[in-house]
Structure 1
């Protein structure tokens, strides 16, 4: 594809597409079946060397898909050029398919529910954790769009590795609600079910009264006295590690 063709395709796809900002976002989208419309870089040879080191399984796809463009052209396509000088556009993962995955029972892994999250970067970090732990998906409530460009950026393209959707509290996926709450029982003594919805509130406000009142179980993370709270993504990581350590999770240590 020529530079002019890549620019034309970018402009055609941009209104409905998801921005993949940087090499790792493109890598993960391709690895997990994302429908990538166009991918550009200012140095194709350098990007392919990076792929040979970090993603040799994708070298062939990247050779075919990447178009080299000038630095000026790339700056005109994106608001901020990633340090890897790679950018791409992809279709959002199919929403109907996501909702079907989230609704299906029985599950082999929980669903993470973020109740009215506020920070876009934190939500992206949670998506990254969810993908790494192989959970069924991430659901948000409230006003934040979990496919916002800043969420996708901080999630490094791993929205394509798990089901990420927005729902209202009244139409959450099925399954028992395990709510993280300071007044709950110590999580270390609990065994999180594989079909659970693990619900996390924001650092400042916690879980809403509506979801807390519907909880099948309240559990709390261990924390030193007088410390106010953990970061949201840290809390999710701790809970998912506990789940993976006490479940039949097939995860094994490995290089990302």
Structure 2
């Protein structure tokens, strides 16, 4: 085969792979979870997500990033990642991530998520977001919960915790914990500690490992239904005349307090 013919054959093979990948994307786009950017894809692969298609504007650059930051997922990424032109990828996603990477993943089965949440031998808390409104804050909470090894994150109300903006805010860490939307009456068993300005100072409490840690919405606080379900009301220390903390900040403070007493909390990685 001449050099020219070899080049044409290589271009044809690449073009065929690109077309196949775009076709797979369109087949799965409606029901799949959008992984927006390299880090979301990295975490999804690391925690066992089913990723049928992954695309990049610059495949070599994405693989170099993996080799540098996530060598554990580099082989799996190399096996999946297909390079496509910038305009092709932009046509498939709402907003192209700065890393020029996007992928689709299968959402974990409902039974799998609920099974993890309803385990009676939980050794880490479940975070409950009571009718949250802000998609980005919900994503940040899921990222925090995954980092602390929480058993899961439950939302009540209309917000979909698997919305693409939430997944983007969570950096793909939905796959590192159980994430589900439930009614208050469907919450897992366990003592429910609800954050409320009228509650007892958290510094005088030891939060049990199987606790449900509930946080009200950014504007309205706890709903009457969840407040009635609560076993304990807990407050965070706050300077007078400061109205509230950001939702993710409140969750982070509460999980940190839990972690200082629990042998099941993750320890700091000292490399």
Change (3 A) 1:162 1:255: farther
- Find 2:219's aligned residue among 204, 207, 229: 204
Q: Hey, what's the Cα distance between the residues in 1 that align with 2:269 and 2:28?
A: 35
Q: Structure 1 unaligned runs (5+)?
A: none
SS of the counterpart of 1:15? coil
Residue 28 (str. 1) matches residue 33 (str. 2)? no
TM-score normalised to structure 2 length:
0.92
Residue 74 (str. 1) matches residue 99 (str. 2)? no
Aligned CA RMSD, in angstroms, stands at: 1.2
Matched with 1:101 is 116
Q: Hey, what's the Cα distance between the residues in 2 that align with 1:139 and 1:225?
A: 31
TM-score normalised to structure 1 length:
0.98
Q: Hey, what's the Cα distance between the residues in 1 that align with 2:95 and 2:165?
A: 12
> 1:105, CA displacement in angstroms?
0.7
Q: How many residues align?
A: 256
Residue 229 (str. 1) matches residue 230 (str. 2)? no
Matched with 1:58 is 73
- Does the aligned pair in 1 maintain the 2:148–2:265 contact within 8 Å? no
Change (3 A) 1:116 1:255: farther
Matched with 1:158 is 173
> 1:255, CA displacement in angstroms?
8.0
**CA deviation map 1:61-82 (0-9, x unaligned):** 1111100111111111112110
> 1:215, CA displacement in angstroms?
1.5
- Find 1:6's aligned residue among 18, 21, 24: 21
- Does the aligned pair in 1 maintain the 2:149–2:265 contact within 8 Å? no
Q: Hey, what's the Cα distance between the residues in 2 that align with 1:216 and 1:6?
A: 51
- Find 1:135's aligned residue among 140, 150, 162: 150
Matched with 1:87 is 102
Q: Hey, what's the Cα distance between the residues in 2 that align with 1:215 and 1:70?
A: 52
Q: Hey, what's the Cα distance between the residues in 1 that align with 2:170 and 2:229?
A: 30
Matched with 1:39 is 54
> 1:91, CA displacement in angstroms?
0.6
Q: Hey, what's the Cα distance between the residues in 2 that align with 1:194 and 1:100?
A: 17
Matched with 1:183 is 198
> 1:254, CA displacement in angstroms?
2.6
> 1:107, CA displacement in angstroms?
0.9
Matched with 1:112 is 127
Q: Hey, what's the Cα distance between the residues in 2 that align with 1:115 and 1:99?
A: 17
SS of the counterpart of 1:246? coil
Q: Hey, what's the Cα distance between the residues in 1 that align with 2:97 and 2:242?
A: 36
> 1:212, CA displacement in angstroms?
1.1
SS of the counterpart of 1:89? strand
